[in-house]
């Protein structure tokens, strides 16, 4: 687990840093997606989440869900390309789950990736996480989780 300015960033996950989302490669080859603890801290308590329809084909960095907090609306973007195959209904019904457990019960969507091998190079994982997020937080002027 990397901890950067108080934000937990598990080092077994893959991160699309610009989009501030994580991706977990599951045993069946699908990808689970959610917001990072850093993204949650920036947003504050989520009050609404609306996913795209299951079955939609998405490109990397395309919107898969739209969330709202403190009157701000913003997209959650796909960390990799593929088909949207599941959404986490409990988190859509009660978006504060995302704040409470961003890497567990607060996951948002599952994608069947179609270019994982090519696109995973654009994601950050393992020992690189801390430095990359430190730089992002610095650029964002972020104080800490």
Strands (E), the chain: 2-4, 7-9, 14-16, 21-25, 31-35, 48-51, 57-58, 63-69, 72-77, 82-87, 109-113
User: Is 111 in a helix, a strand, or coil?
Assistant: strand
> What are the structure tokens assigned to 143, written together?
């104080």
* 68 binding other proteins? (CB under 8 A): yes
138, 76 contact by CB (below 8 A): no
CB atoms < 10 A from the CB of 52, how many? 18
Sole binder of other proteins in the list 45, 57, 59, 135 (CB under 8 A): 45
Sole binder of other proteins in the list 12, 26, 44, 131 (CB under 8 A): 44
Sole binder of other proteins in the list 29, 55, 70, 104 (CB under 8 A): 70
* 142 binding other proteins? (CB under 8 A): yes
Sole binder of other proteins in the list 71, 104, 117, 127 (CB under 8 A): 71
* 143 binding other proteins? (CB under 8 A): yes
* 50 binding other proteins? (CB under 8 A): yes
Name residues contacting other proteins, limited to 4-43 (CB under 8 A): 18-19, 42-43
The conformation of residue 94, written as its DSSP 8-state character, comes to S
**Distance (Å, rounded) from C-alpha 131 to C-alpha 46?**
27
* 74 binding other proteins? (CB under 8 A): yes
Name residues contacting other proteins, limited to 82-141 (CB under 8 A): 93-96, 137, 139-141
Give the residue from 89, 121, 113 showing the smallest Cα distance to 32. Answer: 113
Sole binder of other proteins in the list 73, 118, 131, 135 (CB under 8 A): 73
Residue ranges that bind other proteins, judged by CB under 8 A: 18-19, 42-45, 47-48, 50, 66, 68-75, 93-96, 137, 139-143
């Amino acid at each position: 687990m990397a901890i950067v300015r108080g934000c937990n960033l598990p080092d077994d996950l893959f991160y699309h840093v610009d989009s501030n989302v994580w991706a977990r490669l599951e045993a069946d080859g699908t990808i689970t997606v959610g917001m990072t603890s850093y993204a949650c801290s920036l947003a504050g308590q989520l009050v609404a989440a609306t996913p795209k329809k299951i079955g939609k084909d998405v490109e990397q960095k395309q919107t898969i869900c739209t969330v709202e907090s403190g009157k701000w609306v913003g997209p959650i973007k796909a960390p990799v390309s593929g088909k949207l195959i599941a959404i986490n209904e409990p988190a859509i019904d009660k978006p504060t789950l995302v704040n409470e457990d961003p890497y567990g019960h607060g996951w948002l969507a599952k994608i069947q990736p179609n270019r994982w091998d090519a696109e995973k190079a654009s994601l950050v994982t393992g020992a690189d996480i801390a430095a990359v997020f430190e730089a992002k937080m610095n650029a964002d002027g972020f104080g800490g989780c």
